[in-house]
Amino acid sequence: MPNMSLKKNEMPTQAPNVRNKNFYEVALGYTPEQAIDEAKRCLNCKNKPCVSGCPVKVHIPDFIAKVAEGKFDEAYDIISLSSSLPAVCGRVCPQEHQCEGKCVRGIKGESVAIGRLERFVADYHNANCKLWPSDIANNGHRVAVIGSGPAGLTCASDLVRKGYKVTVFEALHTAGGVLVYGIPEFRLPKAIVEMEIKGLKALGVEIETNTVIGKTVSIDELMDEQGYEAVFIGTGAGLPKFMKIPGENLKGVYSANEFLTRINLMKAYLETSDTPIQKAKRVAVVGGGNVAMDAARCAKRLGAEVYIVYRRGMDELPARKEEVEHAEEEGVIFKTLTNPVEILGYHNPNDKKDDLNGTVNGIKCIEMELGEPDASGRRKPIEKPNSEFVLDVDCVIMALGTSPNPLIKDTTEGLETQKWGGIIADENGKTSRKGVFAGGDAVTGAATVILAMGAGKTAAAAIDEYIKSKENSKK
């Protein structure tokens, strides 16, 4: 008999006023009992709309059925067929727009908590599994994967399972890409990312950190000198955007990338870290996406009063719903329908050597209202005349989105890109260069972890096909 409760099983979380002072994970995960109870809410309906909402097509009702039976390992095996990073996806996917958004239980009441169940199954597996050395037969072909974020890791995982010898190149000193430098510990513990990467290494994937493709080694060298038959570019969208308003170079203005990297990758919030971070008192985070929420919640945890400054309204915030709710609960103040026009700084006219010179001491904003829908379908924000005001802050974090890094484009001849820098690739990830594939944010511009994983998966299949057809034509 299915569980006909209209509401999801709540997932236990740290209390807002406790967690906004620490970096431990906010959500604590289901117990096995809660997971089984939640799994029983799935009707196992015929059409499986949830699967169509999943970019990597996880067999959702099948794994949930196993959870309902208490067979968690079997549930994990089902998820693994489609997803190589379930513990990550369960935490960071925008389920409300994907699987859960399509769930029939959501028509009357709340959808099945698919994300929470995925997370439970992956965590259960990680806590109880042992890593075995892989017994996959090597097919003798080598593939280079550039970037160890979600697209690269997924592509590497699929290829190594097909028998390819895969090397992943990472520019930073730790593998994981945005999962490590971008998404904070309290939303995605780094131990989980590490566990997923250890799993890939056990399968035979080699990871070379401290290697900047385009600088240390070029794609041509990888293919012509080092024997890689195909390359997958999953370098993401790493370049921060600024607003081009006065004052953006003042001390105390960060790109969200810098602020988050200092905290997440460099662990600047710990006493033991040598990396500094400003201990701000009042912070304005400009933007309304997941990255803005992450930056705001990090700043809160460092002890600041935090404002989200966003030019549209609450309903238009592009962030995941849960992130907005968590930020509000933790005391982040939302200044919506507000747009910055200038960042103000301190200057001591009498002392040129005053260390505070050039430091942020406010952000001038203007109130906005929503007009007609624009090309994106969202209502266009318009300035309200004479509504400027100054928000008293000593730190501003710009979370306005990112664009792809030109390092590879500039050093790879014949690799075509869009005007804004995105690599041009077809629906299978094929680029204008033979044997070179690309996917994820490097192609689409900043998007989500799961879409990048989907692109990595598609490209892995295309690379497999490409190498096999090359092999066949030789015969």
The contact set with another protein (CB under 8 A) reads: 171-173, 181, 209-212, 215-217, 238-240, 242, 244, 248-249, 251-252, 254-255, 257-258, 261-262, 265-267, 272-276, 278, 355, 357-358, 405-407
Between residues 257 and 412, which has the closer beta carbon with respect to another protein? 257
Rounded least distance, CB 438 to another protein, Å: 17
Between residues 93 and 268, which has the closer beta carbon with respect to another protein? 268
Rounded least distance, CB 73 to another protein, Å: 34
Between residues 167 and 255, which has the closer beta carbon with respect to another protein? 255
The torsion angles phi and psi of 179, rounded to 5 degrees, stand at: -65, -25
Rounded least distance, CB 301 to another protein, Å: 18
Rounded least distance, CB 310 to another protein, Å: 20
Instruction: Answer positive or negative: Cα dihedral of 314, 317, 322, 325.
Output: negative
Between residues 90 and 240, which has the closer beta carbon with respect to another protein? 240
| Count of Cβ atoms closer than 10 Å to residue 377 Cβ | 6
Between residues 23 and 63, which has the closer beta carbon with respect to another protein? 23
Between residues 209 and 469, which has the closer beta carbon with respect to another protein? 209
Rounded least distance, CB 90 to another protein, Å: 27
Contact 28, 14 (CB under 8 A): yes
Tokens of 442: 């490097």
Between residues 139 and 211, which has the closer beta carbon with respect to another protein? 211
Q: How would DSSP label each residue in 404-472?
A: --THHHHHSTT--B-TTSPBP--TT-B-SSTTEEE-THHHHSS--HHHHHHHHHHHHHHHHHHHHHHHH
Tokens of 400: 């306005």
CA dihedral 101, 105, 106, 108 (to 10 degrees): 160
Between residues 266 and 460, which has the closer beta carbon with respect to another protein? 266
Instruction: Answer positive or negative: Cα dihedral of 289, 395, 284, 276.
Output: positive
Rounded least distance, CB 344 to another protein, Å: 15
Between residues 128 and 275, which has the closer beta carbon with respect to another protein? 275
Rounded least distance, CB 183 to another protein, Å: 15
Rounded least distance, CB 398 to another protein, Å: 8
Between residues 239 and 333, which has the closer beta carbon with respect to another protein? 239
Residue type, 147: G
Tokens of 252: 């105390």
d(CA 443, CA 405): 11
Buried b / exposed e over 151-167, threshold 16 CB at 10 Å, is bbbbbbbbbbbbebbbb
462 burial (CB, 10 Å; 0-12 / 13-18 / 19+) is buried
Which residue, among 319, 321, 308, 458, has the nearest Cα to 398 in the 3D structure?
A: 308
Rounded least distance, CB 313 to another protein, Å: 28
Contact 362, 391 (CB under 8 A): yes
d(CA 79, CA 76): 5
Rounded least distance, CB 130 to another protein, Å: 26
